[in-house]
């Protein structure tokens, strides 16, 4: 982006250099990361399945209960939604900020974006890892703790959660690439001047 690719004026020079236009790599990667984090947020936040489960049979009469699986019932999934929403707003704000060109281009902004990218990688990866560990528990259960599988009963819920996890891990990869490119540009601007 213009902010991430900005050039510094030469030392002792009175001329000012304009910030370069956003490179297509940053715009495309940032847009894809935005799509991935928004997808992960929405799919998990809207993930809900209600099912009627037979608890027991007395004589010929089954006793059943209606059970609902929601993301809000698991703190790891709530954390997952929150960090992906934060990353979505972050990516959207950088795309919007980049469209204003050098109006917001100040010294040190490239370093701030690089550090913020690192923070986003940490947040999204920790949220995805927490949700993946709970998803694995829901899919396979834990015989030692006598925790039953829930994906046998809530297949749609588990499938949607898996899709959200895939989107989040794609976002982690894209954010890592953006972080690497930001760091390389920061280094080039530092060494080149």
Read off the tokens for 168: 């989040």
pLDDT, tens digit (0-9, with 9 covering 90-100), for 143-161: 787 787 888 888 899 999 9
Query: Residue 78 in contact with residue 72, Cβ under 8 Å?
Result: yes
Residue in 54, 78, 56, 77 with CA at minimum distance from that of residue 67: 54
**Environment class of residue 27 by beta-carbon count within 10 Å: exposed (0-12), middle (13-18) or buried (19+)?**
middle
Of 45, 164, 36, 163, the closest CA to residue 88 belongs to: 36
**Tens-place pLDDT, residues 52-111:** 888 888 888 888 888 888 889 899 999 999 999 999 999 999 888 877 666 656 677 778
């Amino acid at each position: 982006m213009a902010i991430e690719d900005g050039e510094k004026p030469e030392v002792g020079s009175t001329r000012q250099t304009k910030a370069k236009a956003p490179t297509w790599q940053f715009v495309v990667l940032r847009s894809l990361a935005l799509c991935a984090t928004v997808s992960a947020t929405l799919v998990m936040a809207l993930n809900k399945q209600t099912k009627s489960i037979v608890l027991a049979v007395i004589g010929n009469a089954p006793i059943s209960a209606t059970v609902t699986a929601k993301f809000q019932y698991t703190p790891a999934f709530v954390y997952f939604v929150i960090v992906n929403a934060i990353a979505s707003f972050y990516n959207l704000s950088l795309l919007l900020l980049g469209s204003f060109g050098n109006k917001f281009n100040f010294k040190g902004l490239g370093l701030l974006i690089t550090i913020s990218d690192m923070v986003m990688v940490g947040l999204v990866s920790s949220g995805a890892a927490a949700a993946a560990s709970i998803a694995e528990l829901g899919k396979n259960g834990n015989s030692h703790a006598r925790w039953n599988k829930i994906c046998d009963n809530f297949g749609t819920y588990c499938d949607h959660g898996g899709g959200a996890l895939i989107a989040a891990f794609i976002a982690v990869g894209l954010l890592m690439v953006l972080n690497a490119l930001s760091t390389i540009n920061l280094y080039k601007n530092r060494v080149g001047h």
